[in-house]
């Protein structure tokens, strides 16, 4: 009994400290494939196999509701600690290569996600990529502004130079 309570407490802590979770069914995956999956997720998530009853209790203790129906069959949970998009991509890509891994549902930002929602999340660009694009757009805007401010001065210099040359040729 004490071990079940400790497991629920540990799972509750995992649910509370995660930025998102993804429920998967791992039936048919070998131990080697599970190790490969954990390695592919990397630092962005912890992947844990849990008893459905204990996981349900822990999720409810953490304030996560709406997943009770998804805690069926052999369930493993990806507790996302890092970038949600990266973890979703890693799970989706692994599932493509290993059809025995089935993404069942997820929970992100207070909302229950379907398997399709998790796939849509995986198709988003990573935070770093979006920040890079934003920086590029800012750089282009700044270059355009700098050109706009220097163009009148450059045009004035060319006009003065043309007038000076015209004046010299007239003399």
pTM for the model: 0.68
What is the tens place of the pLDDT at every residue in 126-141?
656 556 656 666 666 6
Q: Name the CATH superfamily housing domain 2-124.
A: Ribosomal protein L10, N-terminal RNA-binding domain (3.30.70.1730)
* Residues 6+ away with beta carbon under 8 Å from 87: 20, 22, 41, 44, 45, 78, 80
- Residue whose C-alpha is closest to residue 101's, from 67, 68, 73: 73
**35 or 121: which leads in pLDDT:** 35
């Amino acid at each position: 009994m004490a071990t079940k309570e400790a497991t629920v407490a540990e799972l509750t802590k995992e649910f509370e400290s995660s930025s998102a979770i993804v429920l998967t069914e791992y039936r048919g995956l070998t131990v080697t494939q599970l190790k490969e999956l954990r390695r592919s997720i990397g630092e962005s998530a912890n992947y844990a196999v849990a008893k459905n009853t204990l996981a349900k209790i822990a999720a409810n203790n953490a304030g996560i509701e709406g997943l009770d129906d998804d805690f069926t069959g052999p369930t493993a949970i990806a507790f996302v600690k890092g970038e949600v998009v990266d973890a979703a991509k890693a799970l989706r890509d692994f599932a493509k290569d290993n059809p025995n891994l089935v993404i069942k549902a997820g929970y992100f930002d207070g909302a229950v996600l379907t398997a399709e929602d998790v796939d849509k999340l995986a198709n988003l660009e990573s935070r770093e990529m979006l920040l890079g694009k934003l920086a590029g757009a800012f750089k282009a805007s700044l270059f355009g502004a700098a050109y706009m401010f220097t163009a009148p001065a450059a045009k004035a210099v060319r006009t003065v130079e043309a007038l000076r040359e015209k004046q010299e040729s007239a003399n």
